[in-house]
Amino acid sequence: MWRESPPATCQFWSDLETAAMNAIKDPGQSYWAGAAVRENGDRAIRITRTMKRRNGEVLPGWWLKVELPSGRILSYPGIGISVEKSQEEDSDDDRVQYRERIRYMGENQTTRQWGKQYTYGGKLAENITQALCRDLLAVALVRVDAEGWPVILHVHDEIVTEVPNEPEYSVEKLESMMCELPSWARGFPLAAEGAVVEYGRKRLVEKGCLVRKISYEGRRGCPDQLVLVPGRRSYIEWDNFYDFPARTLFIEYKKDENTEPEPHQLREHARMRDVGADVRVIGSKAEVDALIEELFPS
């Protein structure tokens, strides 16, 4: 069902796999995939297999080169094609079917051993998407630092700067610099969500909460913040009181209330909630205020 809803995405997967297969079989020739978004009118992704000459003969090279719109190249070593045969079990059809798969050399993500790996159109699209977003972040890092905002660290798609607490250093200004697109990314849908994050952090800290930016190592989907809410005793009347126990929250911030978490984030939130974690998704200052009222009722 999902494959039927975004046909352009599925077509991109198919285009990538076809272009990669053709490039592997035809060293030295460029094959293209994606929309015609380059400044010169070319399609987004160029795929080429390297070649070498020996005694006047053209031989296939070791590398498959995938060029991004930014000009950066993703390289797949030991490139080749494996042919697998299969036959349906418990079937009257005795025909053997053959399937080609893109093969390269790399690190197995489970065993961490170097060896043969396999890829396909959807996986190539994932690699390209992550690499392109990294290039956009790299451009933003250079721009932000050049404008006098010292970058002290960056995590995945986030930038952390240390600047004076003065009006000219606003979250809105930082968002604007991060979203300024280079010429090769014209039209790319890019947004930042810093204002609500900063507002939420300040309100929670003012209430005595311990707020920490968190991320996973080698895994996606981690919420933006860990919030430790202090326990306290609130007096209702002269001799009546109510104890508010300490609490732990995880907060995922979005740029507005209409922006849903990504599918991998939703899956991680569900896993966390299944073991009793309190995970919140916040997309506006009003939702921050509502959370503060819930945690610290007046």
Please report which residue ranges of the chain form alpha helices under DSSP H: 7-25, 121-146, 171-178, 195-206, 263-274, 285-295
Question: Phi then psi for 282, rounded to 5 degrees?
Answer: -125, 130
Q: Is residue 17 scored above 70 in pLDDT? A: yes
CATH architecture label of 199-295: 3-Layer(aba) Sandwich (3.40)
pTM of the model: 0.72
Q: Is 120 helix (H, G, I), strand (E, B) or coil?
A: coil
* CB-CB contact of 186 with 40 (8 Å): no
Q: Is residue 1 scored above 60 in pLDDT? A: no
pLDDT band at 226 (very low <50, low <70, confident <90, very high): very high
Q: Is 57 helix (H, G, I), strand (E, B) or coil?
A: strand
Going from N- to C-terminal start, the domains of the chain cover 2-127, 129-185, 199-295
Q: pLDDT tens digit string along 144-201?
A: 999 999 999 888 788 888 888 788 888 888 889 999 999 999 888 888 877 788 889 9
Q: Rounded distance, CA 36 to CA 42, Å?
A: 5
Q: pLDDT tens digit string along 100-114?
A: 999 999 999 889 999
| Three-state helix/strand/coil letters over 156-193 | CCEEEECCCCCCCCCHHHHHHHHCCCCHHHCCCCCCCC
DSSP assignment, residue 5?
A: S
